Amino acid sequence: MTPEEWKGKLSAIKDSFSSLISEHKADYETLYQRFLGRKGELSLLLRDLKDIAAEERRNLGVLGNAAKQELTAAAEKIKSAIDAHNQRCSSAPAIDITLPGVNFPKGSLHPLTQTMDRISGAFLRLGFSLASGPLVEDDWHCFEALNFPECHPARDMQDTFYVNAKDDRGKDKLLRTQTSTVQIRVMEKQNPPLRVFHPGRVFRNEAVDASHAFAFHQVEGLYVDKNVTMADLKWTVDAFMKDLFGSSVRTRFNPSYFPFVEPGAEVDMSCIFCKGQSEHCPVCKGTGWLELLGSGMVHPNVLKACGHDPEVWSGFAFGCGIERFAMLLYGINDMRMFFENDFRILEQVR
């Protein structure tokens, strides 16, 4: 055998050894017997060195021994990996399938969702149906049709975020500031009589503090029919509050101003914490009353804007902030807790 042939055989042996390893086709015993054992391919090749001329034999011998060390190390590495695996399997504790399983933490609905569900339930029981509307609104639905003409000072209290897009009348679109927009959406599409409610998110350009947020939630109820009076509004609001907070709750109306109603009233509920019995109640500040809702008789201009004759139809609307309800229901005193999503708070409200 020439030295070149010998070298060729050596490299063929190394190649087949490495391809067996890379394809995970051999265990330690197989590798050892095939390549390194007494009759292994490498051992036989080393033995063939004796037939090669002495001046070449020495160099080839160095190559051959280096290859033997390399293959031995690689084979032993596989052996120790297999041994370690076997060791782990034999020392792992047996699984006791009769033990109870691992408990996973259960999720729950967000307090605002729970509050919205309770409020929606109260509306549904009063015969109202659910309506919907978009968050990105146009000036008409958010202000103009709700009797906030341009330059009306009441618009200043509802500064919001504008979207880089124009509505049909060439005005910037905006994120709605109130759920009352849905009153217009519904009355434009449907003829009275109608009885709808809409809970949803609204936006204001506000600095965030314990009682203000740039995004919060409102719910709005609207009833339009023939001969609807303030008495209907008062009965409905009272029944709504009693459904949510219990039959002992009382309501009272104070005159107030909202552009889309006439007359308008704020609704107070008797304090559910002190029942009006404590001068030091931190929630009602000793007054015995909590201000909760805005309400009123739908303004004739709003009915007209939606194409309905205010001489024929009349209606009432009332609405409130859902965060305000949730704060009362769950005794939370900082609005930011609703959107910071701290599990320590959320887990207490289930």
Which amino acid, 207?
A
Residue closer to Zn ion by CB (options 136, 281) is 281
Element (H, E) at 221: strand 215-225
Number of residues that bind Zn ion (CB under 5 A): 6
Say how many C-beta atoms besides its own lie within 10 A of residue 247's C-beta: 8
Q: Render 289-347 in DSSP notation, one character per residue.
A: EEEEEEEEEEPHHHHHHTT--TTT-EEEEEEEEHHHHHHHHHT---TTHHHH--HHHHT
Say how many C-beta atoms besides its own lie within 10 A of residue 330's C-beta: 16
Residue closer to Zn ion by CB (options 175, 271) is 271
Q: In whole angstroms, how close is the CB of 285 to Zn ion at the nearest point?
A: 8
Q: In whole angstroms, how close is the CB of 200 to Zn ion at the nearest point?
A: 30
CB 182 within 8 A of CB 137: no
Q: Phi then psi for 291, rounded to 5 degrees?
A: -80, 120
The packing angle between helices 322-330 and 111-125, to 10°, is: 110
Residue closer to Zn ion by CB (options 38, 280) is 280
Residue closer to Zn ion by CB (options 149, 331) is 331
Q: In whole angstroms, how close is the CB of 276 to Zn ion at the nearest point?
A: 7
Site map for Zn ion, 216-255, x if CB under 5 A?
Answer: ----------------------------------------
Residue closer to Zn ion by CB (options 72, 211) is 211
In sequence order, which residues have a C-beta less than 8 Å from that of residue 204 and are 6 or more positions away?
Answer: 158, 159, 160, 177, 212, 213, 214, 216
Residue 346 is a binding residue for Zn ion (CB under 5 A): no
Site map for Zn ion, 248-287, x if CB under 5 A?
Answer: -----------------------x-xx------x-xx---
| Site residues for Zn ion per CB under 5 A | 271, 273-274, 281, 283-284
